[in-house]
Amino acid sequence: MLKPLNVLRVILLSFVIVSCQKDIDNTAAAADITGTWNFISIDAKTSNTQQTADETDVFKTITVNDYVTEKNSGTIIFDGAKMTANNLLYSINTLAKSSIYENGTLTDTVSEQINFTVPSLSGAAPYKKISADSLYFESGSFFTSGSTSQSTQKPGGVKLKLENDKLYLIQSAMQSATETNDGAITTSDFKGTIIINLQRQ
């Protein structure tokens, strides 16, 4: 018989922001984003479903998490070819909620308070403007990879939304994975919308 999933591990997985596909919309007006922007916050809404099944039992955990980062600081510079971060810093203080199912029946709900501060980050990421309102980071960036570690950056893109002196970088993220261990098959499905909020200096 299978044991329930490690709920804390599932909760932490919900913070992983994966790269999004290049999404082209040529109907939007061109956004001039060159210049220096203050980093205001990240607004994230995520859902992570993890299921483990063998010949007799199926355990599933669905973890949802909505948060807006706190203690935000730093700047982002767009120069037409690269995005440069200077001393980006933020913290996450949120309550992740998990629903646990055994063979299709809800057996428990768990809430976990998550508090941590992301280390300060500075660095540059080349990009290409692939449409009037879309950027693509072929080598990844600290936002499209979901990590402040430049060694883990993945290719990804963002949609742009410019409103006066406010700029929003929008990602629709999705990732699926399957692994087999001792005859049990575990599948993970992550979905999320992440919005990086900036304000022109």
DSSP string for 90-125: EEEEEEEEEEEEETTEEEEEEEEEEEEEEEEEEEEE
Count how many domains the chain has. 1
2 assigned to some structural domain: no
pTM: 0.77
Q: Which helix (H) or strand (E) holds 12?
A: helix 7-13
Domain containing 125 equals: 7-200
Percent of the chain with pLDDT over 70: 78
- State the residue for tokens 């483990």: 52
pLDDT, tens digit, 9 for 90 and up, residues 47-96: 999 999 988 999 999 999 999 999 999 999 999 999 999 999 999 999 99
180 assigned to some structural domain: yes
Beta strands 128-131 and 82-102, pairing class: unpaired
111 assigned to some structural domain: yes
17 assigned to some structural domain: yes
pLDDT, tens digit, 9 for 90 and up, residues 85-141: 999 999 999 999 999 999 999 999 999 998 989 888 888 889 998 888 898 888 776
Provide the pLDDT confidence category of residue 32 given band limits of 50, 70 and 90: confident
93: how many CB neighbours lie within 10 A of its CB?
14
**Listed residue (140, 172, 173) closest to 156, CA to CA:** 140
170 assigned to some structural domain: yes
171 touches 35 (CB < 8 A): no
181 assigned to some structural domain: yes
1 assigned to some structural domain: no
149 assigned to some structural domain: yes
